[in-house]
Amino acid sequence: MAASRVDGRLRHRWQWDRRASAVRAWLRRRQAVVDVLVVVIFAATAVGRISADHRPASASVWILAFAGFVPLGFRRLAPVAVFATVTAIAVVGLAVGSDQAAPMLFVALLAALYNLAASRPRRLALAGAAVFELWAGVALFVWAPHNVYLPSILLMTGTALAALMTGFNHQTRRAYLAALEDRAARLERERDHQAKLAVAQERTRIAREVHDIVSHSLSVMVALADGAAAVTGTAPDDAAEAMRQTARTGRDAIGEMRRMVGTLRTEEPEADRHPQPGIAQIDALLDQVRGAGLPSRLIVEGDLGQLPVGAQLAVYRIVQESLTNIRRHAAGASAAWVRLSKSDSTVDVEITDDGRPPAVRAPGSGHGIAGMRERVAAYGGSIEAGPCPRGWRVHARMHLDEAEEPR
């Protein structure tokens, strides 16, 4: 029961806030209508106030009363000019001795003072308040009985202070709301910018992954196809096995690319998604290379099973790209060695072969090394690639304590 009452009050409060917001929005869209209504309400008040007086009102009283309210219709356009105009009319009323119009002029001057405080710097509002106090002091001295002069001036001063404080509060609130709107717009722009950066980074990551997958798989498939073509006439069984290995490599490459792209498709069920390759998949990678005719050996030093997922992916891609480069560029390579070692916070990846590196690199090569360098840089590490006494050597070192885990 208590919960239902609380829900009812919350619902009522929400409906009230919604209606109030709708009314404020309507008023903001029709400011000219609001200004006209303000003048009409003040004019009706003046008619009622003057009509209630037992003394007959002259034409000057009616003119002064209405003239003091008409400028308020332009209070949004020129607050300072409106205050000056109303003050001038009030001074004229003081000069002609129209005490019947004095209450209406006081209300008009007070409204102009509030508008000045709500829309202009405070020094102008304080100057307007001084002018109001001066006019009020003289008007009370001329028209009010002397025995009520002090209470009357205190009342007018308090009213003027209330108008000033209300105007200042309105201006502060409006500035605060404007700052919130500006901050929200700025945050939205920053969010869009961050989203664009994230998209660009994701595209770069996908391009690097596609390069690694396609380059390695195609090099293996080309080697297998060449081998099958070479032994078709003399060893058809070996040729058939090589073609079957080619098909398996192609299917594995297609499956890996589908899994990689599938991580971007949020509408696919979780069961259709698979993790990125890591240390555990390096054996299968070497089996593919061995099947393509390059004997390969894996040497593991230390416990690499507890590496972060991003570090495992980086190690796998470095090994994959290095073996691909051996197949493509190392002439006469008869074996390759992969050594993985881990210390307290450092992982070393070393791939060597006994082939002869080409004197001139093939056009377009070098993207794989750049991709490996980017992966290692994410872990504050470095990579070296160059000839060694036995052939070609790639050595990468990653520092796990300086990791910037990729997504």
- Name the average pLDDT for the chain: 76
pLDDT at 383 over 70: yes
pLDDT at 198 over 70: yes
Higher model confidence: residue 27 or residue 296? 296
Instruction: Give residue limits of the domains in the chain.
Output: 2-143, 277-407
Closest CA to 348 of 392, 398, 393, 276: 398
| pLDDT at residue 363, as a whole number | 39
Closest CA to 108 of 61, 73, 143, 140: 73
| pLDDT at residue 174, as a whole number | 83
Higher model confidence: residue 231 or residue 160? 160
pLDDT band at 312 (very low <50, low <70, confident <90, very high): confident
User: Which residues are CB-neighbours of 262 under 8 A, at least 6 positions away?
Assistant: 268, 272, 273
The mean per-residue pLDDT over the stretch 187-201 comes to 80
Kindly compute the dihedral angle of the four CA atoms of residues 125, 126, 132, 137, in this order, to the nearest 10 degrees. 170
CB 352 within 8 A of CB 377: no
Could you give the percent of the chain with pLDDT greater than 70?
70
CATH number attached to the domain at 277-407 = 3.30.565.10
The mean per-residue pLDDT over the stretch 305-328 comes to 83
pLDDT at 264 over 70: no
Instruction: Answer left, alpha or beta for residue 396, where phi above 0 means left and psi between -120 and 50 means alpha.
Output: beta
pLDDT in tens, 126-146: 998 898 888 888 888 877 777
User: Which residues are CB-neighbours of 253 under 8 A, at least 6 positions away?
Assistant: 213, 214, 216, 217, 218
pLDDT at 360 over 50: no
| pLDDT at residue 323, as a whole number | 86
* Terminal C-alpha separation, the chain: 49
| pLDDT at residue 348, as a whole number | 92
| pLDDT at residue 396, as a whole number | 92
Asked which of 96-110, 258-272, 367-381 is least confident by mean pLDDT, the reply is 258-272
Closest CA to 108 of 156, 141, 59, 66: 66
pLDDT at 252 over 60: yes
Amino acid at the residue 382: S
| pLDDT at residue 340, as a whole number | 92
The mean per-residue pLDDT over the stretch 36-55 comes to 64
CB 42 within 8 A of CB 69: yes
The mean per-residue pLDDT over the stretch 279-298 comes to 85
pLDDT at 275 over 70: no
pLDDT at 148 over 80: no
pLDDT at 262 over 90: no
Instruction: Answer left, alpha or beta for residue 366, where phi above 0 means left and psi between -120 and 50 means alpha.
Output: left
The mean per-residue pLDDT over the stretch 54-66 comes to 66
pLDDT at 163 over 90: no
